[in-house]
Amino acid sequence: MDEEKECRSVDSCTNELMAICGEEGIELSWDRRKLQGKPCKFGVDGVCCRICFMGPCRISKKSSQGVCGADADTIAARNFARMIAAGAAAHSDHGRDVAETLIMAAKGESEGYEIKDRTKLWAVAKYMEVDTEGKDQGKEEDVNAVALAVGEKALGEFGKSHGYLLASYRAPEQRNKIWDELGVRPRAIDREVVEIMHRTTMGVDQDYENIMKQGTRCALADGWGGSMVATDLQDVLFGTPKPLRSEVNLGIFKEDHVNIVVHGHEPIISELIVLATQDKDILAEAEKVGAKGIQLGGVCCTANEILMRHGIPVAGNFLQQELALVTGAIEAMVVDVQCVMQGLADIAKKFHTELITVSPKAAIRGVRQMVVEEGPNAYKQVKEIVLLAINNFPNRKGKVRIPQESYPMIAGFTDESVMYTLGGSFRASYRPLNDNIINGRIRGIAGVVGCNNVKVSHDDIHLKVVKELIANDVLVLQTGCAAIATAKAGLMTPEEGAKQAGPGLAEVCETVGIPPVLHCGACVDNSRLLIAATQVVKEGGLGDDISQLPLAGSAPEWMSEKAIAIGQYFVASGVFVVFGVGLPVLGAPNFSKYLFEDIEKEYGGKWAVEPDPHKHAQLMIEHIEAKRKKLNLKFERKLLDMAARRELEV
Amino acid sequence: MSKIIASAAIRGAYSIIDKAEKKLEEAIGQKGEDHKVEFPNTGYYYPVIYSMTGEKVTTLGEFKPIIERCNALLPPKVDEGPVHLPYLGHVLDAGMAALFGEEIIEAMNYTIGPDPINGIWLGAADDIIMRERGIQFVDGTAPGFAAIVGAAPTVEDAVKLARACQEKSLYVFMAGEDKSRGISFAEQLAEAGVEMGWDTRLIPFGKEIYSHIFSAGFANRAAMSFGGVKPGDYAHNLRYQKNRIFAFVLALGEVTDEWYATAAGVINYGFPTIADSDIPQILPTGVCTYEHVVSNVPVGEMLEKAIEVRGLKIVVSKIDVPVSVSPAFEGERIRRDDMQLELRGLVKGDINTKGFELVNMVDLDAVEDGHVEVIGPDIDEMVEGSTNSIGIVVEVAGREMQSDFEPVLERQIHSFINSAQGVFHMGQRNINWIRIHKDAFKAGWRMKHFGVLLHAKFKNEYGAVVDKVQVKVYTDPEKVAELMPGALEAYKARDERIAGLTDDAVNEFYSCTLCQSFAPTHVCVITPEHPGLCGAYSWLDGKACFKILPTGPNQPLEKGKCLDESIGQWDKINDYISTASQKAIERMSAYSMIIDPMTSCGCFEAISALLPMCNGIMIVDRDYSGETPAGMKFTTMANTVGGGNQTPGFVGHSRIYILSKKFISHDGGQRRIMWMNKSLKETVAEKLNALTKELYGIDNITDYIADEDVGTEEEVILNFLTEKNHPALAMDPMF
């Protein structure tokens, strides 16, 4: 028993508070997981079908088909595709909200929102085919007009009747060709989700390859559609992140402050909360109740959003959400959408904490709902929430037990900020990155992303995978809860990171002044990784498609359907993707062979599953080395005479 | 370790901007915001600021927004604490801000002192120098430049390093002293009596590090004038610097924060730093082509290391003579007191020696390759300080050799001999003049070495047409006198042959795209009667160069059908122009500056410009820095005409083209010349008068032509012309 408890997490704050929960009988996700017993094998293997009510059916040695005759491959593929649809829907619905907020901001209909990054607005306008000719970035009305047009165009991407997603053309030329040849370029975002739901309902698409063709198209509509809209329009509204300092882990809370947690995924409300917690009048209110100030801390991707843009400290990742409340120091936890555990409700009741849901899409039974409607009253409503938290400060009961530990970190890496970081205002480019991949100081790039999962030791797999990658000179880009895990271990500081990185990677990091692991934002910001990969291709010297790059993706502790959508859009963009924990396809021999092998012939990327962190990392490293070999990367010093110099491009 | 560099560079940038700001305030206090400011004789304002930002600063007050820009570029200082933000981008920005700051400091030095031109220090290079020298970076005669900061450990080390740079034909730009010792590299060279200046490629800009802004300014102007880089297009500019201007920094001695800042600034340009001190290194590549900072290199190995780090290939062929050979020595002057002796055909005063140089094509069998014969006394047998006769006969043979190439090869004797350290050469044919420095004599230079040098040079550079070379050096005055008539006859025959070479008499012209690496849409068409704009390439040169390098920048162009005899357009030439200029230019006239004039790169010797009120033209050459009747100085006009643009009413050309029968013949020819700068007028006067008499029956045309003494305003010129009744006033309008 004790042994099992010990491997629940490798995070000391988590273990400290978990011990208290044990003493006080507070039930956490790990405990509920135990009560669940062994997970049903049919579900784990992806061969349980609940699509019609003739079943549920399951595939076993005894019965190789469901009632309708659907085989393991069809059932697993349908389930898998539906996970993609759900994941894509989550990211994309988030993107839609941002587009709507942008439109309101452009029309001046929403207090607290403005166009913060005009350069980015112009850049987005370009790929969204919005004409900026004659428009002046310095003029308010021009900016609003362009923002309005971009917002409308973005909104159109969800339901347009003709054409394809505009952002998909941002991919390298070679990638575009592959998509067109395979006929998977996404059309309207909503349409791709709907079509999955249609094709996977009773008695429609019953060929796993054909199902996955739509699964791919829907996944691409997420990565190169909904998620990209969310990321880019958030940058326009709230500013494109730049490298900044912050702190991470539950130790960020302060006993003498009003502590507020924001949790969920969208920055739309949390941006206003950030604003409100810096409002003089509000701070005066906090003082009145005897608090020295307001400490805001984030959990999950809301944390990542306000970390990236404001340096607001991160309290923890997914599996730490309940533990934040256990500190007894949280006056309010404000949640919006995705990854919010219903279990929070019971724990909040044990403390003075006000748990507040703010999205009309996401209520929790028995929990206070204060819907913030984007519009003229949004900021007022947010201030009320903050005031509620402040007024709750005197109500703390019992001992406050904030763990002592928090770690410094650097975040804020985006396509734009990486360009600047590598060359300043005048020489911004990816050249130094490409050069050092070519010369072998950096062996390759890995994206390590995703969630936490109670089935594996919390943060443990993330850390082992990331450490092994950087020790082998692989530069790691991270988003989501995976990023928070690494940050908590100190790897997102240049100094600590350098100690763990291989000599080549450490040398490059030292030159640039970056950690070997870069925090690139929330899970919708995986779209940033797609753009980064595209930029590396465009910079030259590493082939002409993403699939040729020494690059691999990983989600070591995944649990959400969103991870499946992300995994598939990376595979379909040409990336080798390794998942930890497991994958609900293993009961379907042909479908899993397709995902693990055959799909590579089409897209140049493929899936793999490896729960063991060492083997997981090695799979990625082997892939990276194989790609390097194929590219025949060699660093040669060429000494140029006059004739050779004339050949150089200027 | 680059955190240390980053911290220092950013501190240095703060310090430089602070100084710039204070100095600007001081200048404004003394002179007022509206006080006009400029670097001497340049059309590029403050070239670093101008090329990077597009801002044309002309008054003190206009520097204020530049200071603001610098402050905006200055990043936060690198924290000494445990967590710092990424600094590479910051350092590069800080470096650029530092360069702007240094340019402001130097601008203020020009305005309120101390005067940058002081003692050995030369200050900013003006546009005349930049054009003359910039072209060497284009054609490869200068592979790059070394920006030297600080001072070598000893004077001897300094001389060695400078000579090594010269041997590799590199320019050496010097600024900044080693603060700990209070001495600079240039002062070390001065102490050793090394001749410095643009002619010897050793350029002392100033004693403070800030003066290295003149190095950056030189590079930026080269990009704008030859490379077609638009002011403000910093991305194009820096790409150009990285891939065309092969410069590097040699840091000698203690590296200060301000040195770091300046070095960071030019890392933006792709110029790496090699240091002899033990500073941190930055080896990963990316901004520069290879390493960014390499340190702890002993002074004697620095140059080799720098060349490797910058990715340069410089081939110095070893020639078996006792002195170094490099174009960098071409500019050396030898004073009478320093000369061992001189050899002259160019007679002066009561000197009646004779001299000539001749290249003759002979049969293969008649040449013993490498054979050198001295006929007459050697140097050690002549009186020190004496003047003597000289005859140099180079006999060449080769299957690809043609007699047409004789004058082409012969003209090279000048630069070949001149490139030997301690040997000075001037003139050609029978007006040659050679001096030999005492040091060269002491090093072992003797008469036979002229032959050894010429043999090696001709074989190296003209190996494609010359299979065998032998040289006879005549020093016996009687023998020289005996051979003289034959030489004169040969010159006469060649002149007649060239005179007979007309555009109509040949079927093909030659292209010259040598400058396309710098001016991508520019293409020269060289005809017998329209030599290259730079003055360096005649039709015969083009022909010879094509033989030497069949895939090179000079290609034969079939004329094709003549479309218009008068303006000089041919269908195939137009097709070629269109293709070679990437369709930027569709047509080109050989004989008109009004209709489809020829494009210009940036290296033309002179510009003809229409004077609309006068119904004629003015011609100004690049040595003249004053105002002209066109309302523009040469440099300003050059910006309009250069960069591969077709600008009707303006055309860039060589000086010698003025003496061509086809000189803007469609527009009225030499009769149209209303104004020339005096020095140019004097240079061409004799031949111009003769030619205009021959062509148009006008006597002494130069008497009608105004110059800067008459005035530089068109109205004034018009009065002068009317008074003189200039023949062109009665001609039809030019357009």
What residues of chain B lie within 8 A of the CB of A420, using their CB?
89
B120-152 pLDDT, tens digit per residue, is 999 999 888 888 788 788 777 889 999 999 999
Integer CA distances (angstroms), B354 to A88, B23, B123, B346, B351, in order:
93, 59, 42, 8, 9
| pLDDT beyond 80 at B246 | yes
B485-496 pLDDT, tens digit per residue, is 999 999 888 878
CA dihedral over B84, B90, B95, B101, signed as positive or negative = negative
> Could you say which residues from 123 to 162 on chain B have a Cβ atom under 8 Å away from some Cβ of chain A?
139-140, 143
Contact check, Cβ <8 Å, B243/A642: no
| pLDDT beyond 80 at B515 | no
- The DSSP code sequence of A101-138 is HHHHHHHT-STT-----HHHHHHHHHHTT---TT--TT
pTM for the full predicted model: 0.86
Rounded Cα distance between B422 and B438, Å, is 8
Would you state the pLDDT for residue A3? 44
Helix, strand, coil shares of chain A, percent, nearest 5, are 55, 10, 35
B160-194 pLDDT, tens digit per residue, is 999 999 999 999 999 999 999 999 999 999 999 99
What residues of chain B lie within 8 A of the CB of A513, using their CB?
2-3, 6, 78, 84-88, 90
User: Residue A444 carries which DSSP code?
Assistant: E
Would you state the pLDDT for residue B602? 67
Helix, coil or strand: residue A538: helix
Kindly report the three-state secondary structure assignment for every residue of B411-426.
HHHHHHHHCECCEEEE
| pLDDT beyond 50 at A641 | yes
What residues of chain B lie within 8 A of the CB of A435, using their CB?
284-286
| pLDDT beyond 50 at B447 | yes
Integer CA distances (angstroms), A429 to A433, B81, B90, B235, B273, in order:
9, 28, 14, 10, 21
Integer CA distances (angstroms), B48 to B97, B240, B450, B477, in order:
11, 14, 44, 56
B454-471 pLDDT, tens digit per residue, is 999 999 888 888 999 999
Would you state the pLDDT for residue B56? 96
Nearest to B648, CA basis, from B585, B596, B588, B611 = B596
**Residue B114 preceded by cis peptide, ω within 30:** yes
Burial per residue of B16-40, b for 16 or more beta-carbon CB atoms within 10 angstroms, e otherwise: bbebbbebbeebbeebeeeeebbbe
What average pLDDT does this structure show over B284-300? 95
- CB of A599 closer than 8 Å to CB of A576: no
- CATH class of this structure's domain B2-310: alpha beta
A253-279 pLDDT, tens digit per residue, is 999 999 999 999 999 999 999 999 999
Which CATH architecture does the domain made up of A72-238 adopt? Up-down Bundle (1.20)
What average pLDDT does this structure show over A531-552? 97
User: What are the helix (H) ranges across B334-447?
Assistant: 405-418, 438-443
Rounded Cα distance between B65 and B88, Å, is 25
Residue B518 banded pLDDT, cuts 50, 70, 90: low
What average pLDDT does this structure show over A370-385? 92
- CB of B360 closer than 8 Å to CB of B391: no
* Strand A551-555 versus strand A444-448 pairing type: parallel
Rounded Cα distance between B16 and B22, Å, is 10
Smallest CA–CA distance, residue A409 to chain B, in Å, is 7
A63-93 pLDDT, tens digit per residue, is 999 999 999 999 999 999 999 999 999 999 9
Rounded Cα distance between B210 and B198, Å, is 20
Residue B82 banded pLDDT, cuts 50, 70, 90: low
Contact check, Cβ <8 Å, B89/A644: no
Smallest CA–CA distance, residue A131 to chain B, in Å, is 23
What average pLDDT does this structure show over B409-419? 90
User: What percentage of chain B has pLDDT greater than the value 90?
Assistant: 68
Residue B520 banded pLDDT, cuts 50, 70, 90: low
What average pLDDT does this structure show over B101-124? 96
CA dihedral over A433, A435, A438, A443, signed as positive or negative = negative
What average pLDDT does this structure show over B21-28? 98
Contact check, Cβ <8 Å, A426/B246: no
Q: Which CATH number fits domain A411-631: 3.90.470.10, 2.40.40.20, 2.40.110.10, 3.40.50.2030?
A: 3.40.50.2030
Within 8 A by CB and 6+ apart from A632, the residues are none
CA dihedral over B404, B317, B218, B229, signed as positive or negative = positive
Would you state the pLDDT for residue A5? 46
Lowest mean pLDDT among A84-98, B80-94, B97-111, B696-710: B80-94
| pLDDT beyond 70 at B517 | no
B48-64 pLDDT, tens digit per residue, is 999 999 999 999 999 99
Integer CA distances (angstroms), B57 to B35, B46, B54, in order:
11, 7, 9
| pLDDT beyond 80 at B642 | no
Rounded Cα distance between B179 and B257, Å, is 12
Residue A501 banded pLDDT, cuts 50, 70, 90: very high
Would you state the pLDDT for residue A383? 97
- Mean residue pLDDT of chain A comes to 96
The yes or no reply on domain A250-395 and CATH 3.40.50.2030 is yes
| pLDDT beyond 90 at B554 | no
Integer CA distances (angstroms), B402 to A296, A611, B64, B504, B540, in order:
87, 79, 63, 21, 11
Contact check, Cβ <8 Å, B308/A639: yes
A440-453 pLDDT, tens digit per residue, is 999 999 999 999 99
Sheet containing B145-150, strands listed edge to edge, beginning at the edge strand earlier in sequence: B202-206, B171-175, B145-150, B247-252, B273-275, B293-294
Mutation site, A244, A421, A427, interface B, largest B CB count within 10 A: A427
Smallest CA–CA distance, residue B230 to chain A, in Å, is 13
A28-64 pLDDT, tens digit per residue, is 999 999 999 999 999 999 999 999 999 999 999 999 9
- The DSSP code sequence of B32-91 is -TT-B---TT-SSSSHHHHHHH-----BGGGHHHHHHHHHHHPPPPPPSSS-----HHHH
Smallest CA–CA distance, residue A502 to chain B, in Å, is 14
Helix, coil or strand: residue B375: strand
Nearest to A243 among B86, B227, B244 (CB): B86
Contact check, Cβ <8 Å, B284/A511: yes
Residues in chain B: 735
Rounded Cα distance between B595 and B600, Å, is 15
- CB of A204 closer than 8 Å to CB of A229: no
Would you state the pLDDT for residue A1? 39
Q: Chain A: which residues have CB within 8 Å of chain B?
A: 243-245, 408-410, 420-428, 431-436, 439, 441, 493-495, 507-508, 510-514, 637-642, 644-646, 648-650
Would you state the pLDDT for residue B231? 94
Residue A2 banded pLDDT, cuts 50, 70, 90: very low
Give start-end residues of each CATH 3.40.50.2030 domain in chain A: 250-395, 411-631
Contact check, Cβ <8 Å, B91/A639: no
Sketch the domain layout of chain B as residue ranges: 2-310, 327-500, 508-730
Helix, coil or strand: residue B676: strand
Which CATH architecture does the domain made up of B508-730 adopt? 3-Layer(aba) Sandwich (3.40)
Residue B516 banded pLDDT, cuts 50, 70, 90: low
Residue B519 banded pLDDT, cuts 50, 70, 90: low
Rounded Cα distance between B173 and B176, Å, is 10
Q: Where does B86-164 show beta strands of DSSP type E?
A: 145-150
Whether the CB of B522 is below 8 Å from some CB of chain A: the reply is no
Integer CA distances (angstroms), B113 to B105, B108, B209, in order:
10, 7, 16
Nearest to B96 among A244, A426, A495 (CB): A426
Nearest to A512 among B82, B83, B88 (CB): B88
| pLDDT beyond 70 at A169 | yes
What residues of chain A lie within 8 A of the CB of B84, using their CB?
494, 513
- Mean residue pLDDT of chain B comes to 91
Would you state the pLDDT for residue B80? 62
What average pLDDT does this structure show over A297-325? 97
What residues of chain B lie within 8 A of the CB of A640, using their CB?
246, 311-313
Would you state the pLDDT for residue B521? 65
Rounded Cα distance between A26 and A32, Å, is 11
- CB of A451 closer than 8 Å to CB of A304: no
Helix, coil or strand: residue B360: strand
Whether the CB of B545 is below 8 Å from some CB of chain A: the reply is no
Residues in chain A: 650
**Residue A56 preceded by cis peptide, ω within 30:** yes
What average pLDDT does this structure show over A487-507? 94
Contact check, Cβ <8 Å, B292/A510: no
Would you state the pLDDT for residue B78? 79
The more confidently predicted of residues B407 and A306 is A306
Whether the CB of B486 is below 8 Å from some CB of chain A: the reply is no
Rounded Cα distance between B618 and B630, Å, is 8
Contact check, Cβ <8 Å, A427/B287: yes
B336-354 pLDDT, tens digit per residue, is 999 999 998 877 777 789 9
- CATH class of this structure's domain B327-500: alpha beta
- The DSSP code sequence of B192-223 is TT---BGGGTEEEEESSGGGGHHHHHHHHHHH
